[in-house]
Structure 1
């Protein structure tokens, strides 16, 4: 019961903070509550909330998830608001080595806000981590859905290209980034970022640097 008690206290504190300090409206607060509910379902399914607290040796062997998406997404998307908070939660689960929880949180949030390109990009990233770094058809679908909802925005193709590069499909990722540059306005502020990434990946390949898992 200790696990459930801790989870309940944290959930109440989070929702109270969003309602009182952040002052979210009713609809956005319901979105946050849905994300908490999905997290609770995942905890009940995967975890053992009835067990008492005890440090497990297996945790020492767990490697935190890669955080390239978390490190870069604030440069491409909004960093505040309920959708950004859901992405923060998903990023935390991935860092802890629990991408399945991240997928659950994002799917729950998308059920409440199905036209959010930010959430679809986050889901694509989480699905890649869930598949041990591979860009699965489900992940491609999530990124492509984000591109449909956000036509002309560079974030969906950029992060799909990043996932492809890190998965080891370097040619596909570089081709996607080159296409992004070709179609971008000359004064786009993010052109230099994509160009630098291309140069870095090409340099690593030329020097036999390891890219991907």
Structure 2
């Protein structure tokens, strides 16, 4: 009943206000009254004024913390290029949990630059994030496209290994990282971190083997 009272009062206030202060042509007030009556009829037909009020629950916070991918990407990729700007934009969407937007941004950029290893790595990472950390066949294909586009680029095997490690596939992560370590120059800025990761996985896999 309260819903009806509120609706009638609002309709009356709107009708009086518009009729008094609005400028209508001849017959306009009658049309206004008809429109308000039509609104009331529609509410009577489809409305449910007897339902108890219930506040909308707050939206869950889906924002993510900065990932290793975002931090480590700068050591392996060019930083001041158009591809870097695209990846930064995709990262921003991913941190907000908007994975489909990130994928869309990367897909659009790949239409223009289909042989960009950086963009394909970004796509692989975005697909993994969208799958809640699982390395799907689509993500593996994106990383494979990145490696094919630039066979000597450290990004594809490194971030594929990072995705495998995040999904608990430590043996696959170890294979990807060990292969990259074997061809990484001694003065590469990411070599020390990579070697540490391989040793950590070796220790983890050895511990699992003795259980």
- State whether TM-score is above 0.5: yes
TM-score by length of 1: 0.65
Contact 1:65 1:129 in 2 (8 A): no
* Whole-angstrom distance in 1 between the partners of 2:106 and 2:121: 10
Secondary structure at 2:59's aligned position in 1? Answer: helix
Per mean C-alpha deviation after superposition, the further-off stretch among 107-116 and 198-207 is: 198-207
> 1:88 is matched with which residue?
88
CA shift digits 1:49-69 (9 cap, x unpaired): xxxxxx971143x24165221
Structure 2 stretches lacking a partner, 5+ long: 1-55
Greater Cα radius of gyration, structure 1 or 2:
2
Structure 1 residue 89, shift from structure 2 partner:
0.6
Pairing of 1:155-166 with structure 2 (within 5 A)? 155-166=155-166
Whole-angstrom CA distance in 2 between matches of 1:154 and 1:202: 20
Deviations 1:102-129 (A, max 9, x none): 1111001101111111100000000000
* Structure 2 equivalent of residue 199 of structure 1: 199
Contact 2:64 2:97 in 1 (8 A): yes
Q: Distance in 1 between matches of 2:189 and 2:79?
A: 18
CA 1:200–1:63 in 2, change beyond 3 Å: closer, same or farther? farther
Tell me the C-alpha RMSD between the 2 structures.
2.3
Q: Which residue of 2 aligns with 1:58?
A: 59
Contact 1:67-1:91 within 8 A present in 2 as well: no
Secondary structure, counterpart of 1:57 in structure 2 = coil
Could you tell me which runs of 5 or more consecutive residues in structure 1 were left unpaired when the two chains were aligned. Answer: 1-54, 209-213
Q: Which region of structure 1 is more displaced relative to structure 2, 172-181 or 182-191? A: 182-191
How many pairs align? 153
Written as runs of structure 1 = structure 2, the 5 A alignment for 1:9-28 is none
TM-score norm. by structure 2 comes to 0.65
Match of 1:99 in 2: 99
Partners of 1:98 and 1:181 lie apart in 2 by: 33
